[in-house]
Amino acid sequence: MGHSFMSSADWAIQDNNQDADQEFSFSWARRYFYRALTTPGVASAPDGRNEQWGRLFQTLGQVIHHLQDMTQPQHVRNDAHWDGASFLGDLTNVGFRHPSRFEKYSGFSNQGQAKVEEQLANGSFEAVFPKYRQVLRNARDFWTGSAGVADYTNANFVSQRTNFVADSAGRVLAHPDFSQPTPIRGADLSVVEAFGSDPVPPTIRQFCANVGVDQCTMTFYSSVVTDNLDGATLVNARSSTESVFDEDLRVVLRYSYLNETFGTSRIFALNQLNFAAVYPFLIPKAVNYSAGMLNYFFRGRISIAPPEAGVYAVADQSTENCPDHCGFRRIRAQITNSTPEEAMAGGLVSAIAKYHRNTCYRPDFEGTPPSLGCRTADEEISVSRPVLLESPLSSGERRELSFDFDTSIPINATDVFLQVLFEGTLGSEPHAVAMGTKDISEPTFITTYNDTDYVAMPKGCYKAEAIAANDALWNLLAPLCRDTSGGTRRVSAYCANVPLNVRYTGGPAEQPWVVAMERGADGDRRVPPRRLARFAMLADTASPVGMKLGFNNPPLYLPDDGALQFPIYELEERLDGSRVEGIYMPVRGVNAWESVAFIIDGTTGNVGSSCPQQADALMENERPPVPAAITGW
């Protein structure tokens, strides 16, 4: 690989050696994670989001493979165990080729695999993160330092070539290159006792034939295993074996250059009995650190809530302001750093909208009522310009941010999810990624109808001409609504065919946002009779959106304070397979979801109750929404 002397942590994390020629490190996983969330276009395209997700999880798998390798003692005690190619010949005796018996027994023998599977099935497992987040503060801490699994294995377990040794005085000591673990003489067991329910290998039965397997003994040396996370100590009763049998449980014979055979001597070796004894220690560590690494990698959490304005986005839907299915270009949201005990600092925050499209949408709402049958197959995203996090965001702290989109969130979006993504320093980790996702509403359209071409009377709604021609109706009119100038009676311009100044105000009083259809210095945006205005918003799905209705048309007035609550709209296919589909409510032949219709009560001269079912349908040229002005957003 070109980096033969690089440590596992350097290779797998790539935090101190960005020139390492590999793209499957922890650092690269961060990049793939970011790209999987932000790459534009179709998710299934080459190098698209799906491919980035695949690279992310492949990379995490390879990082975790390195971490799991740290629970193999040879890997952390510089004990070469190369299983070389056959073209070099058998170089075992000169020390080059020395396959790992630990790996062969654990991974390639039926007996070893059965014991590993038993440990996995019956062991006790708990991810080390977030339980030990105080000492696992960055990815490198999972390898080394006071909490690292590599240091745990190094200090507590021997390997074949770093085994215990005996000095000239017969004292059993730790290997000269490693001060730990310290050997403790344990039990002398017959091979029958040592193997227990496992069969005694034929090589041992043959060697012990003269005295019997119940008289052949093996001496086990134990050692204390100290957990570097909670400080607990346990005893590994079979840390090493002293016997006449080597690591393959064969009798070791010494040959002189004269080809004479000498008696065997007792040696320290690691065999299947020692391997099985470390499984209860090392297999849980492999699992717990692997799960902890995944938890650590995905620990960054952001909670999303509506801004003080009450909605995430608002857009005018008129043909003038929204050509070619335009949409929302600004999202406002309150974000909370929900990552326990770690601040976000020195980074960028982006908003991402994920959605499908409603192919049945028409700007005039004349299309098929929205349904999941009109839902595009491919999910799309719109990504905002990044916003600089100007000061650290502490754990639990909330802040409101505004995000601008060069590619708008389409007004015909369905299955809308809002994500907020942070890339920067999280705790002590630079270039970290934190994110949050929230299922928000689909574009919820609010339609305003000017129905003042009709006048509300006690027994129904009537055209102004019909009222003027009917004495009984005329006599019910309020004086304000009568116009007798010129000798002809007419319903006055105060009560019929009135261009309306209408506004909707949302958000807090100190920072409101307004959708206005009014006449002002910049032009006349009043809603004419027999016309409508329509705007859309994105909001939370949990509760309706409150707004204040403004009506500036003296001497007309509203009968109440104008407070309104608008239910939000949902159209999506949920992960559990359930579906949510809104329905249209046609008003005067024009489809709508939520609407407000204005008509004048002829008997009082104020705004009255509408009667849309009595009103005739709008003509084609009366159906497009008139433009509105949105301010404070």
Could you give the angle at the alpha carbon of 144 between the alpha carbons of 228 and 28, nearest 5°? 130
**pLDDT, tens digit, for every residue of 424-474?**
999 999 999 999 999 999 999 999 999 999 999 998 999 999 999 999 999
Residue 37 domain-assigned?
no
The residue range of the domain holding 415 is: 302-441
Q: Which of 380, 407, 441 is the last residue of a domain?
A: 441
pLDDT at 394 over 80: yes
The pLDDT score that the predictor gives to residue 252 is 61
The pLDDT confidence band at residue 246, using thresholds 50, 70 and 90, is confident
pLDDT at 598 over 60: yes
pLDDT at 20 over 90: no
Please check whether residues 386 and 345 belong to one and the same domain: yes
Q: Which of 298, 318, 341 is the last residue of a domain?
A: 298
Please check whether residues 91 and 177 belong to one and the same domain: yes
Please give the average per-residue pLDDT across 565-571, as a whole number: 85
Q: Which of 410, 441, 472 is the last residue of a domain?
A: 441
Please check whether residues 467 and 408 belong to one and the same domain: no
**pLDDT, tens digit, for every residue of 479-493?**
999 998 888 999 999
The pLDDT score that the predictor gives to residue 256 is 46
Please check whether residues 346 and 430 belong to one and the same domain: yes
Please check whether residues 103 and 235 belong to one and the same domain: yes
Please check whether residues 118 and 262 belong to one and the same domain: yes
The pLDDT score that the predictor gives to residue 162 is 96
Residue 63 domain-assigned?
no
Please check whether residues 453 and 555 belong to one and the same domain: yes
Output the six-digit token pair for 380. 């799309």
Spatial distance between the Cα atoms of 366 and 361, rounded to a whole number of angstroms: 8
Residue 46 domain-assigned?
no
Residue 14 domain-assigned?
no
The pLDDT confidence band at residue 19, using thresholds 50, 70 and 90, is low
Please check whether residues 332 and 284 belong to one and the same domain: no
Residue 341: CB atoms within 10 Å? 12
Spatial distance between the Cα atoms of 406 and 97, rounded to a whole number of angstroms: 60
Residue 34 domain-assigned?
no
SS3 418: strand
SS3 338: coil
Output the six-digit token pair for 467. 């009222």
Spatial distance between the Cα atoms of 573 and 514, rounded to a whole number of angstroms: 32
> Taking a C-beta distance cutoff of 8 angstroms, is the pair 462, 454 a contact?
yes
Please check whether residues 197 and 326 belong to one and the same domain: no
The reported pTM is 0.88
Domain count, the chain: 3
Please check whether residues 160 and 243 belong to one and the same domain: yes
Residue 54 domain-assigned?
no
Residue 38 domain-assigned?
no
Please check whether residues 228 and 98 belong to one and the same domain: yes
The pLDDT confidence band at residue 325, using thresholds 50, 70 and 90, is low
Please check whether residues 463 and 573 belong to one and the same domain: yes
Q: Which of 608, 596, 617 is nearest to 476 (CA)?
A: 608
Q: Could you tell me which residue, 590 or 61, shows the higher pLDDT?
A: 61
Residue 480 domain-assigned?
yes
Output the six-digit token pair for 159. 């390997």
Phi, psi of 479 (to 5 degrees): -55, -35
Residue 41: CB atoms within 10 Å? 13
